[in-house]
Amino acid sequence: MLDIDRVLSLATDKQIFPIIDKVLQGERLTFEDGVKLFKTNDILTLGYLANYITEKKNGKFAYFVINRQINPTNVCVLDCKFCAFAQMDKNDPKAYEMSYDQILEKAKYAVENGATEVHIVGGLHPDWDFQTYLNIVSIIKKNFPNLHIKAFTAVEIDYFSQISGLSYEEVLIRLKEAGLGSLPGGGAEIFSPNVRRIIAPKKIGYKKYLEIHKTAHKLGLHSTTTMLYGHVETYEDRVDHMLKIREAQDETGGFTCFIPLAYQPENNDLPVYDFTTGIDDLKTIAVSRLMLDNIDHIKAYWVMIGEKTAQVALNFGADDMDGTVMEEKIAHFAGAKSPTQQQKEKLIRLIKEAGKIPVERDTLYLSLIHISEPTRPY
Ligand code: V47
């Protein structure tokens, strides 16, 4: 157990002393606490506290998954200003649509390379009906029954409901029957309606996003959840976003993991041209860990913050690195400087050198393989 006097003797920002006390007493943090934590320059105390909570929840374990991302199409009726992946015009040379065979080929490659999960998201295609999306799930499930299919953000589920006339619940039941294993967390962006009006004016608002996740949870489907940060939002918007997620999680308990997604600034229509900084990435991970006391895992998504920051983040509140990914498009269309895929051995090395114990997990953190062998001959 940590000694409050020891932490206070090292802390330099008096503004956060009462928050340190609350964290060590296990008290829930408020909106004001979250904003103060974002504003502090005492980054080491912030990281220390967040790591303390991570280790209380997950010990020294840090998780990764062997997975593959598949994005069946980038043709999309939405016109989100931050998105460099989507193409509104299907005849644009950058637009693409995969056939079922191409999708199956990618799933096959994933399985042959040890994947336990495929993560499928894509555009809201104006000509694809709900059956097309259902078929994507069912053909993968039929051919690879042991592969976990984490597919379709809440934004896609809302679109399926619109094009099929079915309720959210009916859409989710059909997808589950076809083989859907869980929902990914994309599409949350920032919940603030004012920010959404600027960055994603046509996208569903936070009420529908959360309603869809809560409906999935009630049907026994788990999901992850995200926050896109580093564009036009304020610290207050970020904390408000986290609190809305915390409230939903109090109701259902269905979120397995929270993933802060660092904004990538290239090839899009948002006049914000800077990448996030290392300190902002670490603060966002740490504050997420401290605010979201009811979510077990915080992901340092190496694709968007880079491998080096993701590794440091394992000592600032994160306990998960996502995975091998195999083919990343969304962040790389927008200028991400990380690789588009990762080797399992590299993930293990990053985790071990951060002083944590690597654990290969499945999507729902149920099957766990503890990796103990050293990755480098020190
Ligand atoms: O929904 C789009 C975001 C998301 C940009 O659930 C951008 O475990 C940064 O949600 N800069 C897709 N972000 C990725 C995603 C995800 C990734 C890894 C794991 C999980 C999970 C989910 O990426 C989109 C959108 O929110 N995005 N454009 C951009 N320029």
Question: Hey, whose CA ends up nearest to atom 16 of ligand 1?
Answer: 186
Residue 88: pLDDT band (50, 70, 90) is very high
CB 149 within 8 A of CB 141: yes
Enumerate residues lining ligand 1, CB below 6 A.
82-84, 153, 184-187, 189, 224, 226, 228, 259, 261, 263-264, 268, 301, 304, 322, 330-331, 334
326: left (phi over 0), alpha (psi -120 to 50) or beta: left
Band (pLDDT 50/70/90 cuts) for residue 37 is very high
- In this prediction, residue 9 carries a pLDDT of 84
**pLDDT band (50, 70, 90) for residue 378:** very low
> Using CB atoms within 10 A of its CB, is residue 83 exposed (0-12), middle (13-18) or buried (19+)?
buried
Residue 362 has phi, psi (to 5 degrees) of -95, -175
Rounded mean pLDDT, 319-345 = 97
**Closest residue CA from atom 14 of ligand 1:** 186
- The pLDDT score that the predictor gives to residue 116 is 98
pLDDT number for residue 166: 98
In the reported structure, the alpha carbon of residue 113 is separated from the centroid of ligand 1 by a whole-number distance in angstroms of 23
Tell me what pLDDT residue 317 has. Answer: 98
In testing the pocket of ligand 1, which one of 330, 342, 362 has its CB within 8 Å of the most ligand atoms?
330
pTM value surpassing 0.85:
yes
Given a cut of 50, is residue 75 above it in pLDDT?
yes
Cα-to-centroid distance, 257 and ligand 1 (Å): 14
Which of 79, 224, 259, 261 best tests ligand 1's pocket when mutated (most atoms within 8 Å of CB)?
261
Minimum-distance ligand 1 atom for the alpha carbon of 223: 6
Find the range with the poorest average confidence among 9-13, 285-289, 360-364: 9-13
For 195-243, give the DSSP string. Answer: HHHHH-TTS--HHHHHHHHHHHHHTT-EEEEEEEESSS--HHHHHHHHH
Angle between helix 154-164 and helix 168-178 axes, rounded to 10 deg: 100
User: Does the pLDDT of residue 106 top 90, yes or no?
Assistant: yes
Residue type, 281: D
Using the structure block, give the residue that is written with the tokens 């990755």.
375
pLDDT at residue 230 above 60?
Answer: yes
Name which residue sits closest to atom 24 of ligand 1, judged by CA. Answer: 186
Instruction: Please state the three-class secondary structure of 14-62 as a single string.
Output: HHHHHHHHHHHHCCCCCHHHHHHHHHCCCHHHHHHHHHHHHHHHHCCEE
Nearest to 103 by CA among 59, 127, 126, 135: 135
Mean pLDDT across 267-296: 98
Minimum CA distance residue for ligand 1 atom 23: 186
∠204-260-237 over CA atoms, to 5°?
60
State which H helix or E strand residue 143 sits in.
Answer: helix 130-143
Tell me the CA–centroid distance for residue 362 and ligand 1, in Å.
Answer: 20
